[in-house]
Amino acid sequence: MKRRTVIMGLAAGSAATLAGTGAALAAPRGLVFDKTAYTTLTTTIDGKAVTYRFWKNIVYVANPVDAAYQSLNVSVPVTIDGKAVDATDAPILFSNSVGGYMPSSVATATGVGGAAMTGATGAGGVASGGNAMLGAGGEMVSNAKLALAAGYVVVEPGARGRTLVTSGGVYYGTAPAAIVDLKAAVRYVRANRGRIPGDVDRIVSSGTSAGGALSALLGASGDSPLYDKYLRTLGAADASDAVFAVAAYCPIADLEHADMAYEWVWGKNKLSTGALVDQTVSRKVAAGFPAYQKSWGITDTESHLLKTYLQPAATRYLASLSASARGAYLAKNTFITWKNGQATFTWANWLTHVGARKKTLPAFDAFDLSTGENNLFGTGTTKARHFTTYGGRTIAADIPAKLDLMNPMHFLREGTTSRARHWWIRVGTNDSDTSPTIVANLAAGLRRLGDDVSALMYWDAGHGANEDAADLMTWIARRK
């Protein structure tokens, strides 16, 4: 009962033909990148004049369920500030615009970084979907645009999301649709090695929030056979879906452990209404968390977060200020001790400093099935389902496997060999869309496997922060 939309364009003709023949096995003929089908655009990015070739709305699977989402755009720089650029072997920034696990489409974008912002509204009323994030000065930042201006190829995939529903009431974008789509898009790029500009062995997946979690998942689960049947059904290209590197911002990941992590960290912080959540329930939800942390080799989570992330974040921030601005900040925030160029403070004082928790209890698997994540695990005509067994709840038989398909941590436990080996992981210290341990555990799991990890937090920053995008571009250039 899947909806099919009419597919437009050249490649689509053969895709539609193949769609009738059932699952495509090898690289389907319709999935050939047409080098000539671009328009040339000019734009100004970060003060640089950029001329680029723009390929638009390329359906990346032979049997799309909904081509409006299962299509991608490609942007390739030609000149930057009047200087010719050869992007033939440039890294490829694979920039998704997923927010809130909602559908994301690039079909109507008129240029790079123009994905529809269909995401959930994050802290400060800023939509975290689309390609825009928040810089240190509150300005919008787009990794897709900055990558283009750095001379990289930019691929922007759309993907199905949880709210998509047929006229017959069937949900067709719930888990694992989005990750399957992103994998199919990577396969499309790989299958077009030599046709699509850029180095298909240096794909860097970037995303924020739900899109950050999906980026991490894409990186952790490269070439996992667990997705094969879904990819086959879509007629995905027969190529590797492994990516080289990941840039994950405030990933809303590890969903089945996110409630316990959330209560363990934010349990005693009041809601913005001033109310405390039920402390007995909060403590019960959090009960299994220390044992869970141990399974990742973290025995003292408070100290790990303080020493590895929170105090260094405050230190970096304070060091970046002028002496007078630093003095003013410290006078307002007396919980911070500033000594020998280092910031220190206690866990309890930091929690007070952050203030209101964003989410109610439980944060992800709500009792009344009201969260986006409940919808993410919906199926068929059932919009929302439980995915944790808290309080003796039973979960549907298909849920455990779906949780694995959606969780990068599942793959890090297994240490799959085709995972990305280079990781850029960022979150704001004021971001209570999830627990800061989600980022810390992701980084710890990767380091345990010996991967190259740049993980840090942005001091006092909220959901969707991206305060060192220029550094990411340099970091990418240095990874070979």
Is 362 one of the binding residues for ligand DHB (CB under 6 A)? no
Binding segment (CB under 6 A) for ligand DHB, from list 33-41, 117-125, 328-336, 442-450: 117-125
Nearer to ligand DHB by Cβ, of 197 and 378: the residue is 378
| Long-range CB contacts (within 8 A, 24+) of 223-226 | 223/416, 223/418, 224/411, 224/416, 224/418, 226/401, 226/404, 226/405
Q: Is 416 helix (H, G, I), strand (E, B) or coil?
A: coil
Size of the site for ligand DHB (CB under 6 A): 13
Residue with tokens 């003929």: 29
Q: Are 55 and 198 in contact (CB under 8 A)?
A: no
Q: Which of 28, 91, 122, 219 binds ligand DHB (CB under 6 A)?
A: 122
**Whole-number minimum distance, CB 92 to ligand DHB, in Å?**
23
Stretch that binds ligand DHB, among 97-105, 150-158, 299-307, 384-392 (CB under 6 A): 97-105
Asked if residues 207 and 161 have their Cβ atoms less than 8 Å apart, the reply is no
Q: Is 210 in the site for ligand DHB (CB under 6 A)?
A: yes
Closest distance to ligand DHB from the beta carbon of 100 (Å): 4
Interacting span for ligand DHB (CB under 6 A) from 13-21, 119-127, 291-299, 465-473 = 119-127
Which are the contacts of 427, defined by CB distance < 8 A and separation ≥ 6?
249, 250, 251, 436, 438, 439, 457, 458, 465
The DSSP secondary structure of 158-183, one letter per residue, reads: -B--TT-B-TTS-B-SSTTHHHHHHH
Q: Rounded to an integer, what distance in angstroms lies between the CA atom of residue 243 and that of residue 479?
A: 13
Chain residue at closest Cβ approach to ligand DHB: 209
- Cβ closer to ligand DHB: 122 or 235? 122
Which of 76, 220, 252, 473 forms a contact with ligand DHB (CB under 6 A)?
A: 252
Provide, rounded to whole angstroms, the least separation between the CB of residue 389 and ligand DHB.
20
Interface residue with ligand DHB among 28, 30, 64, 100 (CB under 6 A) is 100
Kindly give the interhelix angle for 437-448 and 255-266, rounded to the nearest 10 degrees: 120
**Omega cis (within 30) before 197:** no
- Per the CB < 8 A criterion, the answer to whether 430 and 465 are in contact is no
Which residue's CB is nearer to ligand DHB, number 67 or number 363?
Answer: 363
- Residue 128 contacts ligand DHB per CB under 6 A: yes
Q: In angstroms, what is the C-alpha Rg of the chain? A: 22
Q: Which of 209, 224, 282, 407 binds ligand DHB (CB under 6 A)?
A: 209
Instruction: Say whether residue 259 binds ligand DHB (CB under 6 A).
Output: no
Piece of 98-106, 134-142, 338-346, 416-424 that binds ligand DHB (CB under 6 A)? 98-106
Q: How far is the CB of 123 from ligand DHB (least distance, A)?
A: 9
432 to 471: interface string for ligand DHB, x by CB under 6 A: -x--------------------------------------
Quick one: which segment of 60-68, 99-107, 109-117, 403-411 binds ligand DHB (CB under 6 A)? Answer: 99-107
Quote the least distance from Cβ 50 to ligand DHB, whole Å: 28
26 burial level (CB within 10 Å; 0-12, 13-18, 19+): exposed
Token pair for residue 146? 């900055």
Interface region with ligand DHB, contact rule CB under 6 A, candidates 16-24, 115-123, 177-185, 322-330: 115-123
133-150 burial, b at 16+ Cβ within 10 Å, e below that, comes to: bbbbeeeebbbbbbbbbb
Using rule CB under 6 A, residue 216 touches ligand DHB: no
∠ CA 128-130-136, nearest 5°, is 55
Cis peptide bond N-terminal to 103, omega within 30: no
Least separation in angstroms between CB 439 and ligand DHB:
14
Residue 346 CB, shortest distance to ligand DHB, in Å, is 27
Q: Quick one: which H or E segment has residue 320?
A: helix 311-320
DSSP 370-403: -SHHHHHT-BBTB-----S-GGG----TTHHHHH
Residues that bind ligand DHB (CB under 6 A): 99-101, 119-120, 122, 128, 209-210, 252, 372-373, 433
